[in-house]
Amino acid sequence: VSESLAGLSIQAPLVVSLPRTLAFGVGVFERFLDQLASGAASRIFILTAPPTLRHAEAVASRAGTAGKRVEIWSDIVAEPSVRTFAAAADSASKLAPDLVIGLGGGSVLDVAKLVAALWQSPSEIDASFGIGKLAGRTTRLACIPTTAGTGSEVSPNAILLDERENLKKGVISPHLMPDESWCDPALTLTVPASVTAAVGMDALVHCIEAYANRFSHPMIDAWAIEGVRLIASSLKQAVLKGDDLDARSRVMLGALYGGMCLGPVNTGAVHALAYPLGSEFKIAHGVSNSVLLTQVLAFNLPAATRKYADIAVAMGVERGASDAQTAERGLAHLKRLSKEVGIPQSLAEVNIPRDALHRMASAAMTVTRLLDRNPRTVTLEDAIRIYQQAYSC
């Protein structure tokens, strides 16, 4: 491996966008309700999913009492596709909202972000995939996450499955940054253990892939490494004892930091190789990432040794005789963590047929916007080998 990971220097220009209002903490959902009632919005479109419907109804009830028109759309049952987006946008266009609220996991938030930007012209979705393709957004957007995972509430990204090509595609645009994000850990108390584990691992991967990234930057490193520390120290407790609000809060703050890394730095090969598991086999995003994590990191290790050693130490691993040994211990720690929180460990365990690996590798190679950021160059042959290693590890 001839490359080594330098990242950007402290002098490199960096532009960070965040919501104008970013609230975090137990009880901020109530504050959101208070300010909504007295706010200027008059037609409010709320997107949510069945498990979080009662919170959306609380929003609707408070806004309705204040004389506002409100519609709730709750038809998001899995990770969203272009068709899901089109149905939501169609429903929104009947209300012509001046405020869109996404209240749910990353699946809901991503659709809400796109609906806010495109409800007047939903057919533009196809031309919007990629970086910086959205013309703008005139409808206000508020996001209220109910999982501690994607960080979509602070990222300029939205991911949809394009069923026509069976590919997960991203819209990346500053116009997708919400105006307001309200992160209340109490809303995550009802997330089932298996979902807590998967979305928490996704958040951990955001932090790891941003910290050890060709475009890593000292300012973002601070969020990323703190996110690693928070999630690694508390995810197991949040999974095993779901009513521990302190553990839930720590994981949610870690996930928020992970999300804050996505705009300025973004992720790498773990995410790129994970996408085909979601698009073709409908494996949940967090599980897809987690099942590939240690194999991709082992591949990257020679190009990111020091950064991976830092990550290991942030996870509480004792330093070894060298960075390489510390980094190896970190990989073992990650493997143990994903086992302890009950996540499948191999591609075989999530029922991927062995003959799909070549096809998945070709699909992953199209995700150049992330592969370009990975600390080590990934070729098609490398991708196939990584999938093979993850097959029955």
Ligand X SMILES: NC(=O)c1ccc[n+]([C@@H]2O[C@H](COP(=O)([O-])OP(=O)(O)OC[C@H]3O[C@@H](n4cnc5c(N)ncnc54)[C@H](O)[C@@H]3O)[C@@H](O)[C@H]2O)c1
Least spacing, CB of residue 343 vs Fe ion, in Å? 14
Q: Are 88 and 73 in contact (CB under 8 A)?
A: yes
Closer to ligand X by CB, 17 or 190: give it: 190
The C-alpha atoms of residue 106 and residue 151 are separated, in whole angstroms, by 7
Site for ligand X in 131-150 (CB under 6 A): 146-147, 149-150
Least spacing, CB of residue 189 vs ligand X, in Å? 7
79 is an interface residue for Fe ion by CB under 5 A: no
Which residue from 199, 201, 253, 370 is in contact with ligand X, where contact means CB under 6 A? 199
Other C-beta atoms lying within 10 Å of the C-beta of residue 332: 12
Site for ligand X in 31-60 (CB under 6 A): 49, 51-52
Closer to Fe ion by CB, 46 or 203: give it: 203
Judged by CB under 5 A, the stretch of 45-53, 97-105, 201-209, 231-239 that binds Fe ion is 201-209
Which residue from 79, 180, 184, 202 is in contact with Fe ion, where contact means CB under 5 A? 202
Closer to Fe ion by CB, 100 or 284: give it: 284
188 is an interface residue for ligand X by CB under 6 A: yes
Which residue from 180, 184, 202, 328 is in contact with ligand X, where contact means CB under 6 A? 202
Tokens of residue 167, six digits: 């590919």
Q: Which residues of 143-174 are buried (b: 16+ CB within 10 A; e: fewer)?
A: bbbbbbbbbbbbbbbbbbbbeeeebbbbbbbe
Judged by CB under 5 A, the stretch of 43-51, 113-121, 195-203, 345-353 that binds Fe ion is 195-203
Closer to Fe ion by CB, 178 or 286: give it: 286
Least spacing, CB of residue 34 vs ligand X, in Å? 21
Q: Which residues sit opposite 183 in a β-bridge?
A: 24
Which residue from 41, 117, 187, 272 is in contact with ligand X, where contact means CB under 6 A? 187
Which residue from 190, 237, 377, 388 is in contact with ligand X, where contact means CB under 6 A? 190
The C-alpha atoms of residue 33 and residue 43 are separated, in whole angstroms, by 15
The C-alpha atoms of residue 242 and residue 1 are separated, in whole angstroms, by 43
Residue type, 74: S
79 is an interface residue for ligand X by CB under 6 A: yes
The C-alpha atoms of residue 136 and residue 152 are separated, in whole angstroms, by 18
Pick one of Fe ion, ligand X, none as the site partner of residue 200 (Cβ within 5 to 8 A by kind).
Answer: none
Q: Which residues of 113-133 are buried (b: 16+ CB within 10 A; e: fewer)?
A: bbbbbbbeebeebeebbeeee
Give the burial class of 355: count Cβ atoms within 10 A of its Cβ; 0-12 exposed, 13-18 middle, 19 or more buried. exposed
**Calculated CA dihedral for residues 245, 251, 257, 258, nearest 10 degrees:** -150
Residue 122 DSSP code: G
Q: Which residues make up the interface to ligand X (CB under 6 A)?
A: 49, 51-52, 79, 104-108, 110, 146-147, 149-152, 155, 157-159, 187-188, 190-191, 195, 199, 202, 262, 285-286
Q: Which residues make up the interface to Fe ion (CB under 5 A)?
A: 202
